[in-house]
Chain A
Amino acid sequence: MPYNIAMVSDFFFPQPGGVESHIYQLSSKLIDRGHKVIIITHAYEDRTGIRYLTNGLKVYHVPFFVMYRASTFPTVFSFFPIFRNIAIREEIQIVHGHGSMSPFCHEAILHGRTMGLRTVFTDHSLFGFADAGSILTNKLLKFTMSDVDHVICVSHTCKENTVLRASLDPLMVSVIPNAVVAENFRPLYHPSYPSDFSTTSLPQHLGPHDTITIVVISRLFYNKGTDLLVAALPRILANNANVRFIIAGSGPKAIDLEQMLERNVLHDRVELLGPVRHEEVRDVMVRGHIYLHPSLTEAFGTVIVEAASCGLYVVCTQVGGIPEVLPGHMTVFAKPEEDDLVAATGRAIAELRANKVRTGDFHDQVKKMYSWTDVAKRTERVYDGISGALSEADFYGYEAADAASWSATRGRAGVQSFALIDRLKRYYGCGIWAGKLFCLCAVIDYIIFLLLELWAPRDAIDIARNWPKKVKQENLTADDSSFRR
């Protein structure tokens, strides 16, 4: 059954990033599966109005004020009128928000529930529990997550984190990992892509004295472990002869990295590339043999899948969702500390020199493990589950007999009820003060909804035309003649 889906997030192209490409890839695969998908995001400098991307993917760049790192200013209700208009004109059934740092996404889920739409939320990041910023974000997350139909996380660690932060029922959280477009990350020599053979030389086995290149591609931020890299890099180079580094990326920690190079005079063995575009990442990766990923926190770590797909042996810290991402024979894990990272890198270099690792097979294995089509299929199953197309027992995987015992606010067949009183019950449980505040917000939202129905009635809103689907030739000619009439 095809659905009309609205993906809502502050983060979308032209800004590069993981969430952005996730939304784009998932949407285009869902369109391939016959659904209608639109994307609602805020306006970027030169990207305003309503645009179409490949395959009829429609993007609404809503003119909103951008506050910090591409996030809009969080106003709880101001997005409602325009969101309602878009949802009605596109006949939206499912609102799918992305990214817990996006106010747009939270607002859309709240308003979507008020309008009686199914909502899904995808969490892409891990958060702490202790500092003030995290506490506020977690409270906000708890607010929107109190009344959402389903949550998707990109890894099991991310699921654990989200369940704890938002006090969710683990049964309503699914794990659907990210994927990569394997064709865009192909190794230098691979039999499936004969056009790549520019020279006749096939990959040689590494001898004990051949140069091994280690690639690091990451934004140079604290949470990406740049400090760890700065500490470990000189030691790795001192311990292993014939090793070179290529580091790509930019960020506030770039200056630390450069200072370290100056201090140790390592310019001949370390190449700094600065920022690289996403489509150039593959060309950088295939220059190396080992990919080093020193991140301190990571929900999924798409980049290590990309590296493995390029045929690189991966050395990474054992944090967040990283251990779930790749099978053991592709990775060497390290604790997120200097000594262990140096030791792990040393082990990886030794294994490569001993020809114990068959990096040539990585690409095909990754291609089998990760595909966006599979992600779209699994997401579609979530949509089926929340709209009641799948039975409760099928979707949640437990016996329907004890369904009533575990959630009092849940309506028929595992589907969240839209009744205002049930929604208020769910919000009320958020905390002593917060619960009442959230109830107030929900009630005001409902009143705004009623006012909007009067002020901008539904039948005064034009229903948008759908992007024409591919039809068979005989249908096309029949349509053609009807137009000529």
Chain B
Amino acid sequence: MLTTAPHLRTRRPSPTTVEYTVSTSPTLTLPLRLLLITTIIFRVLIGWSVLLILYSKYLLSNLAAATSTHNVQPETIVSIDYLYYILHLLHTSKPGQFATTLAALTPPTLLIPLSLVLLHILLQRPHTTETLLVLRGLGIQTSSSSASYLSSATTRFIPTEKVQDILVNEAFRGFEVRYYLVVVVEGEDDVVVVFPRLLPRRKVVESVWRGVRGCLWEEGRVGGLSAKGG
């Protein structure tokens, strides 16, 4: 419900600029927004509880024998002692005690991998968004959103004079054959694949290919080439 099949959105702020966005995110309506916010709240809550259980386990182990004396409120708020005080409050609170009993019950060999996997899942972004920005006279910029919240999107800019060609190709991928859009960059052995994670379907790839050629180079050339290719 939160994701859809990859679809194309085109933005054309000026005649010489086009942005193609392929995304799994649906158009955000109010209920969908609310749902997204609820899932984020849930993610945060579950994340914190996992961390709390891990902290309790740490306190239970003999590694933490010396650090359990921060039970007095320090004067200044901005200090490491104040952080320890909050942790102490959390630890002694009701959910903290529950976390301690839970941590005491599960062996560390099970608890640590399990919580790491859970944290990893919680940090995954729900949507994948990949964009291709074309600026006539400047070049093209590809960007691909990262899988988790911890890293940012990978972006690559290719100046027009480095772009040798843009083409649609087919290749084996797993047990299927896919169409994909590539940019051939001068002086590089490997081509740059546009929309590498989503690999949208042929219709999308072809319309983006037409549009990029039309925007990056003059319109006349596109007509001639597509007549040959199509």
Query: A interface vs B, CB < 8 Å?
Result: 49-50, 60, 62-63, 81-82, 85-86, 89, 456, 461-465, 468, 476, 479-480, 483-484
Contact = CB atoms under 8 A, between A and B. Distances in A.
B172 A483 contact: no
B223 to A, nearest CB: 4
Contacts of B226: 483
A467 to B, nearest CB: 10
A456 B176 contact: yes
Nearest to B228: A468
Contact of B201 (A456, A462, A484): A462
A465 B171 CA distance: 14
B223 A480 contact: yes
The 8 tightest CB contacts between A and B, nearest first, are: A81-B175, A462-B202, A484-B223, A85-B176, A50-B170, A483-B226, A480-B227, A82-B175
A85 B178 CA distance: 10
Contact of B177 (A86, A476, A483): A86
A107 to B, nearest CB: 14
A289 to B, nearest CB: 50
Interface in B197-230: 201-203, 219, 223, 226-228, 230
A89 B177 contact: yes
Nearest to B225: A483
Contact of A85 (B177, B219, B228, B230): B177
Contacts of A86: 177
A89 B179 CA distance: 11
A484 B210 CA distance: 10
Nearest to B170: A50
Contacts of A468: 228, 230
Interface string B168-207: 0111100111110000000000000000000001110000
Contacts of B202: 462-463, 465
Of residues B179, B201, B202, B227, which shows the largest number of chain A Cβ atoms within 10 Å of its Cβ? B227
24 contacts: A49-B172, A62-B172, A81-B175, A81-B176, A82-B172, A82-B175, A85-B175, A85-B177, A86-B177, A89-B177, A456-B175, A461-B176, A462-B179, A462-B202, A462-B203, A464-B177, A468-B228, A468-B230, A480-B227, A483-B223, A483-B227, A483-B230, A484-B219, A484-B223
Nearest to B202: A462
Of residues B177, B178, B201, which shows the largest number of chain A Cβ atoms within 10 Å of its Cβ? B177
Given A49-B171, A50-B171, A468-B230, 8 more contacts: A50-B177, A62-B172, A86-B177, A461-B176, A476-B227, A483-B223, A483-B226, A483-B227
Contacts of B171: 49-50
Contacts of A484: 219, 223
Contacts of B177: 50, 60, 82, 85-86, 89, 464
Contacts of A49: 170-172
Nearest to B226: A483
B207 to A, nearest CB: 12
Nearest to B206: A465
Nearest to A452: B175
Contacts of B228: 468
Of residues B175, B179, B226, B230, which shows the largest number of chain A Cβ atoms within 10 Å of its Cβ? B175
Contact of A464 (B170, B175, B223, B230): B170
